[in-house]
Amino acid sequence: MATIRDVAFDVLRHHGLTRMFANPGSTEVALLSDLPDDLGFVLGLHEASVVGMASGYALASDQPALVLLHTTAGLGNAVGAIATARVSRAPMVILVGQQDRRHLQSAPFLAGEQLELLAGSMPVAVRTPASPVEVPTAIAQAYHEATIHRGPVLVVIPMGDWDEEAPENLAAAAPARLRISAGADPELVAELADTLAAAKSPAIVAGAGADTHAGFAALTTLAERLNAPVWQAAFSSESAFPHDHPAFRGHLPAVRAGIRTTLAPHDVVLVVGAPAFKVNLHDAGPFVEAGTRLVLLTELPDEITHSTADVAYLAPVAPTCAAVADRLPASATTLEPRPAPEVRPAKGPDAMTPDMVYQAFAERLPAESTFFEETPSSRGRLIDILPARTPLSYCTVTMGGLGHAIPASVGVKLAQTNRPVVAFVGDGASLYSIQGLWSAAHYGVGVLYVILRNGGYAVMDLLARNHGGKGPWPGFAEISVSTIAGGFGVETRRIDTHTDLLAALDDIVPSLAGRTTPLLLDVAVES
């Protein structure tokens, strides 16, 4: 039976954390008893000495050092030395013992009260695993954070966690290897290019970190050189690849099983400008099959520490992708474009589904447009039907909250006054920041607001049905968003039929780029 301790030791070995500087106590005994011979132990008689020795070791070896401290007393004694390590840019992973989590609520002897706050702002990061199975991942993530931010990282670990049985095949959900470059480093570029060139069936997952003109161009060239399909990362706040390109295959599923199935045919998957991976509801299993190699390229440290990847590159996205593409030969074949998405018809005559609304815009909006998504019940349909063709085309919020689209669209239009800007917002979602319409009207901001009116929280109704029941929340068909908008000084049009919608868009869209006042379409859709 493997324990959490066994798996944690494998993580330490993998990252070269095989020498431990410590002044331990009882909360660390379970970790240290019968310590394996390949893990060295260096005792200090005071915590300042322990952290000081580790600082020197880290600076001289140019890699994170491993420190072990004893709950409140040990960490408290070490704070001054940790502050010195922070200023000295000495990377280290500091494991801090805590009382057994099974009775922490009873405030037992040696329980550390808010240990994660004791060292203040001196650590560059602090990790508190929520359960024993998260301990190995927390240690691996701390190693990467110490490397990236060049400083001490705390990991607070309850003493009982070490002896807990580890689930089968438990591994740290963090990159196995990390490389850092401030530019398109030739050695890094060569390594990444060789990996992609050797792949039999490479694929690309694009995220918001590549949503620039340079990023679009570099990823497009790279996909064409590799003849690789491209997916949009799930929950990406922006697009990063032209959705009308033959290589585009749609948005990646937001559950592990879907990701595994989608990427199973590919032996190398390059994730660019996004974590690997962001999902929604939990399901079991790894993100990819055992034969698929995951490579991550991003400019954001957090996307690295929260990703499962064989290797992660912290480097500028656009220049690195462009340099990699330059090293690859042109592909002799091209991918066939994916079939056009099916547009779901309405049940009633001249009524509308959200699909029909999005299709109408897809046929009329120019490529150099920005559209916001805040339609929870039909989000999947919008991103399938309405393509993002240029940088800053597609914008959404990835935190799960509502109230972003109405004010954020005002900001985009203020910054790019000659760009058509459309905000698709559900009637329920609109109520979270409806007052943003006043600012659009007051400052003469020509955003087109499309409110999809279904009279309730349709996405919550769907989730409740999927859970086998129904929710206690009522509908709110009596609310008139167009009436509210009119009260803020916004021109509104109530659209109740598909014919009315097409006529309105034919009138509005041609002059949308130069529009200087907001307009709200209150559009009735079938739920």
pLDDT tens readout for residues 306-359 = 999 999 999 999 999 999 999 999 888 888 888 888 999 989 889 999 999 999
CATH, residue 137: 3.40.50.970
pLDDT value at position 331? 86
Residue 266 lies in a domain: yes
HSE-up (13 A, CA, CB side) for residue 4: 21
Same domain, 320 and 427: no
pLDDT tens readout for residues 130-148 = 999 999 999 999 999 999 9
Check pLDDT > 80 for residue 400.
no
Of 130, 163, 196, which marks where a domain is finished?
163
Element (H, E) at 392: none
Same domain, 59 and 139: yes
DSSP 110-153: T--TTHHHHTTT-SSEEE--SSGGGHHHHHHHHHHHHHHHTSEE
Same domain, 11 and 141: yes
Band (pLDDT 50/70/90 cuts) for residue 447 is very high
Of 307, 326, 345, which marks where a domain is finished?
326
Residue 168 lies in a domain: no
Mean pLDDT of the chain: 93
Same domain, 120 and 190: no
Which residue is it, tokens 């109740």? 496
- CA dist 486 and 492 (Å) reads 7
Residue 172 lies in a domain: no
Domain of 142, in residue numbers:
4-163
pLDDT tens readout for residues 510-524 = 999 999 999 999 999
pLDDT tens readout for residues 15-28 = 999 999 999 999 99
pLDDT tens readout for residues 182-225 = 888 999 999 999 999 999 999 999 999 999 999 999 999 999 99
Same domain, 438 and 477: yes
Check pLDDT > 90 for residue 240.
no
pLDDT tens readout for residues 41-78 = 999 999 999 999 999 999 999 999 999 999 999 999 99
Same domain, 95 and 220: no
Domain count, the chain: 3
pLDDT value at position 459? 82
Check pLDDT > 80 for residue 527.
no
Same domain, 362 and 472: yes
Strand partners, 21: 42, 67
CB 40 within 8 A of CB 65: no
pLDDT value at position 448? 98
